[in-house]
Chains A and B, each alone.
Chain A
Amino acid sequence: MNLERYADRVLETARRHGATDAEVSVEARVAALTRFANSEIHQSVAEDTVRVTLRYVHGRRYGMAATGRLDDAALESLVERASANARSTAESDDWPGLPEPGPIPEVTGAYAASTGEATAERRVETVREVVAAADAAGVAAFGSFTTGAVTTAVISTRGVRAVQTRSDAWLVTVHMSPGGGTGYAETCAVDVADVDGAALGREAAGKARADDHAVDLAPGEYPVVLEEYAVVDLLAKLGRCGFNALAAQEGQSFAAPGLRVASDLVTVWDDGTDPAGLPTAFDHEGVGKERVSLIDRGRCVGLVHDTRTAARAGIRSTGHALPAPNPVGPLPTNMFMAPGASTREELVGRLDRGLLVTRFYYTNPVNPKRGIVTGVTRDGVFLVEHGEIVSPVRDLRFSVSYLDVLRGVAAVGKERKTLRGWYGGVSVLGDITVPAVLVDSFRFSG
């Protein structure tokens, strides 16, 4: 499907309607998902969708409209609606204008045909591997395997013309043991060939078996090793609440230049062009992705911007706009945390008496300004004594400042995982690449 052709037609129509500027974003997605529970496939779905979004500018007035159809009548109506929306509002003294064309980085490895064209049979085959690992361990598998491709074109009257196609394969599995244990494994990749169902199945099964017959542990402060599945939540929440320039401009973010928010061992950046993640060349305004340093050896150094927040700050957008309309503000959608030097065994080995935590669940900010988040552990918490796992522990609730957690990082793992994290539950194709960490103290409330 030639998306530029549709975008050009909409731009031309907008000009005829009197737009002084216009921007069209067309996104076409083909995706399919095979979902399994109790070790059998219970949902098997496929979709073919398209979304055309128009930002129509008339002087210092602007409005937007979107449609899910590509026929002539729908595209004409799209322009009429956006035009009406623009004309219904007063002139804005805060309108930065549409972004000017700028450099768009060369990105390689964003698309794999093996993923974009993956068949139901291919997904079923991988799910069978996951289930076989569960069967072998005497546990049940619950999860999903998604494959898809999205083509995005952003074209504007200012001269922006950006087109890319990306693919993603995402497998999540929770294994449940008759003894009450649960285990988790996840991966995401551009190429479906990089998804190893058998390995993920074994990982989750092993964790579920080890988690059997968990015991209660008194709430309190413990040193912890947070596996990658838990660390991803730290970055996702802080990225949304803190490194988002809109939150900072509205006084709701903890982030400030030079502020110590983590230990020296923590360095975090956002880089849409790194092929280690799910690469992307530009954002939803067609602005090229810049690598943005967020935390450098424990100190805040940067924020991500879209055109609006950048204009307020007097700088250029870093290429982190989300689809319009976007009340959330710009987000870091391709975060990386620098690896350390420790193996997983070394991290766990440093716990004299502490906990190994697989992941966090249903976390939500209680006080974003202080980075305080509440949530619960899930899919495997283990008491470690003298560097050895001695017992699985029942899940625990916490309400802690994720900033305090990062400040307490005492060691960082050398291996990293690329995960969807929070972005798995939203429509934005984002990912986070993280290592495991050892944290001096983590308070559980029970």
Chain B
Amino acid sequence: MEPHGTPTGAMREITDRALDTAVSAGADYADVRVVRRVEESVTVRTGRVESIASDESEGVGVRVFAYGAWGFAATHRYDADAIDRAAAEAVRLAKGAAPSLRRRVSLAERPRAYGTYATPVREDPFALPLEVKVADLLDADAALAVPGVVSTASTYAAQREWKTFAATDGSLTEQVFTHVGAGIEAHAVKGSEHQRRSYPEARGGRWQQAGYEFIRELDLKGNAARCGGEAVALLTAPPCPEGPATVVIDPSQLYLQIHESCGHATELDRVFGAEASYAGTSFLTAGLLDSRFRYGSDLVTLVADATVPGGPGSFGWDDEGVAAQRTTLVENGILTGYLTSRDTAPRIGRESGGAVRAESWNRLPLVRMTNVNLVPVPGMSLQDIVADTDDGLYLTQNRSWSIDDRRWNFQFGTEIAYEIKGGRLGRILRNPVYSGITPEFWRSCDAVADERSYVMYGNPNCAKGLPPQCVQVGHGTSGARFRGVRMGAGR
């Protein structure tokens, strides 16, 4: 949805106070976020409602640029004293950090941010009776329980966040985000063999910025029996063969490959070392931009797009007041950009790409993925690609993941592999694992499916920073084929 509308200014008393106090205390620039967030969740485990929970959080985060350094302080209280203390503390923290600086920080300019944004919602999840959501989940969970399934887990959750952003340059935005997610999973065990099948995604399900209509469209119940049956069948399926193979990767796995090996790798704060002690750095050093580094094959174009309607990582403005935009990260295989902030973009001679967000009011905004997507290539559907593959594997649904601190050396496991013989999907194979080196892997891509199989996956638990922060990010992909991928190491 396009940003529009006029802010109400309902939080003006708080934001003005925070900004005024920060400036009085010595800030050259300050911004403030007032955030209220509500969440609800239902968890069903093996046919029983395990928990129905609701949560709310509310507070104020003040970020200042003073004495050439950043400072940030947050409080859960709205009274004038608390706001003053937080603003003054942020300035004090910046002043304390300033003597350590060895490099002058400069901020990319941006237009004054002003307006409103809201997630398009057709069926408000918070207005729907809880009984309906519980019943839907119980129905889906019950359908998972085919013979041989020993345990199931089904989850539904919704989040709504009201965020007011104001800054000393007169910026004022008001945004309302609604995210929903759901998923089901079946577990089967035989001896030391444990298998899981999930739909549309394990670990909390698939998420979207939408209303409950998205949950209905997932059709959890309609996919449950297949999930349960495959979990059981995998117990006795042949192990996935090891060695080089042609693999066609379903969007349910490829989205995480994009997330780990492109999304994180192009975060410019990582490139400059800000996350070195925790999340790591990146092999995509800034100098590679000028040298037109070949990240992938000609078919690989990756974009960071915060303007996608419904994308989990979409917004009107980021948490620095930079408007949502589409940034090309990799174009026809060549590295062309990064995810950037106001203080990192100038270091590569660019304007901010608007990729800065915080988990909540009590966290410092960081460079984060928005929706990092693999652009579909017209010509072949995902089915066409399978039909075009004489001998290979079809990998679907992530099960395990690991990548090194430079985003270079990765290993992923999927829940299931289907053999491809003569262009047709065949028997199922258990415990598929593949590994590789990021640019070698993306350069081996020789087919990207067209938009018919394009789907937006969401990762609601993308962790980064200290204290750790989780934000919603999105990854759109249609699936793709890769040659000579190293299978194995998962026994």
A binds B: yes
- The residues of A with any CB-CB pair to B shorter than 8 Å are 31-51, 63-70, 74, 77, 81-82, 84-86, 88-90, 92-94, 120-121, 124, 127-128, 131, 140, 142-144, 146, 172-174, 176, 250-252, 254, 324-325, 327, 361-370, 372, 374-376, 378, 395, 397, 399, 425-427, 445
Question: Known pairs A37-B277, A38-B272, A366-B490. 18 more at Cβ < 8 A?
Answer: A42-B70, A45-B73, A46-B72, A48-B75, A51-B57, A84-B130, A88-B134, A124-B100, A144-B466, A327-B45, A327-B51, A364-B401, A369-B189, A369-B194, A370-B192, A376-B409, A397-B402, A397-B489
**Chain B residues within an 8 Å CB radius of A427:** 468
**Chain B residues within an 8 Å CB radius of A92:** 48-49
Residue of B54, B56, B431, B490 most packed against chain A (CB within 10 A) = B54
- B44-80: which residues lie under 8 A (CB-CB) from chain A? 45-46, 48-59, 69-77
**Chain B residues within an 8 Å CB radius of A369:** 189, 192-194
A-B contact pairs, 11 of them (CB 8 A): A39-B102, A45-B74, A46-B72, A67-B55, A70-B76, A325-B51, A374-B413, A374-B433, A374-B490, A397-B409, A445-B489
Check B419 for interface membership: any CB of A closer than 8 A.
no
Query: B137 to chain A: closest CB distance in Å?
Result: 11
A343 and B411 alpha carbons, distance in the complex (Å): 35
Known: A33-B467, A445-B435. A42 touches B130 (CB 8 A): no
Known: A127-B100, A397-B409. A367 touches B58 (CB 8 A): no
Known: A43-B70, A325-B51. A34 touches B97 (CB 8 A): yes
Whether B362 contacts A364 by the Cβ 8 Å rule is no
Whether A367 contacts B490 by the Cβ 8 Å rule is yes
Contact stretch, chosen from B87-95, B111-119, B207-215: B87-95
Whether A40 contacts B193 by the Cβ 8 Å rule is no
B82 to A, closest residue via Cβ:
A48
**Chain B residues within an 8 Å CB radius of A173:** 277
Check B364 for interface membership: any CB of A closer than 8 A.
yes
Query: B387 to chain A: closest CB distance in Å?
Result: 31
Whether A85 contacts B52 by the Cβ 8 Å rule is yes
B61 to A, closest residue via Cβ:
A47
Check B43 for interface membership: any CB of A closer than 8 A.
yes
Whether A85 contacts B74 by the Cβ 8 Å rule is no
Query: A370 to chain B: closest CB distance in Å?
Result: 6
- A144 touches which one: B73, B153, B278 (CB < 8 A)? B278
- A48 touches which one: B74, B101, B277, B433 (CB < 8 A)? B74
Whether A250 contacts B404 by the Cβ 8 Å rule is no
Query: A281 to chain B: closest CB distance in Å?
Result: 24
Known: A325-B43, A363-B402, A367-B194. A41 touches B100 (CB 8 A): yes
Whether A121 contacts B194 by the Cβ 8 Å rule is no
Check B121 for interface membership: any CB of A closer than 8 A.
no
**Chain B residues within an 8 Å CB radius of A327:** 43, 45, 50-51, 153, 155
A270 and B414 alpha carbons, distance in the complex (Å): 33
A82 and B56 alpha carbons, distance in the complex (Å): 12
Query: B180 to chain A: closest CB distance in Å?
Result: 17
**Chain A residues within an 8 Å CB radius of B69:** 41, 44
Check B305 for interface membership: any CB of A closer than 8 A.
no
Check B41 for interface membership: any CB of A closer than 8 A.
yes
A254 and B189 alpha carbons, distance in the complex (Å): 11
Query: B292 to chain A: closest CB distance in Å?
Result: 24
**Chain A residues within an 8 Å CB radius of B54:** 64-66, 81-82, 85
Known: A38-B273, A44-B72, A369-B189. A395 touches B404 (CB 8 A): yes
**Chain B residues within an 8 Å CB radius of A363:** 402
Whether B187 contacts A68 by the Cβ 8 Å rule is no
**In the complex, per-residue mask of B475-491: 1 if CB is within 8 Å of any chain A CB, else 0:** 00000000000000111
Check B276 for interface membership: any CB of A closer than 8 A.
yes
Check B81 for interface membership: any CB of A closer than 8 A.
no
Whether B192 contacts A37 by the Cβ 8 Å rule is no
Whether A251 contacts B409 by the Cβ 8 Å rule is no
Whether A47 contacts B73 by the Cβ 8 Å rule is yes
Whether B405 contacts A361 by the Cβ 8 Å rule is yes
| Minimum-distance CB pairs A-B, first 8 | A142-B276, A325-B51, A369-B194, A41-B97, A44-B93, A68-B57, A88-B130, A85-B52
Residue of A43, A67, A174 most packed against chain B (CB within 10 A) = A43
Whether A252 contacts B276 by the Cβ 8 Å rule is no
A34 to B, closest residue via Cβ:
B97
A366 and B194 alpha carbons, distance in the complex (Å): 11
Whether A90 contacts B49 by the Cβ 8 Å rule is yes
Check B11 for interface membership: any CB of A closer than 8 A.
no
A84 and B192 alpha carbons, distance in the complex (Å): 42
Query: A118 to chain B: closest CB distance in Å?
Result: 12
Check B400 for interface membership: any CB of A closer than 8 A.
yes
Whether B55 contacts A66 by the Cβ 8 Å rule is yes
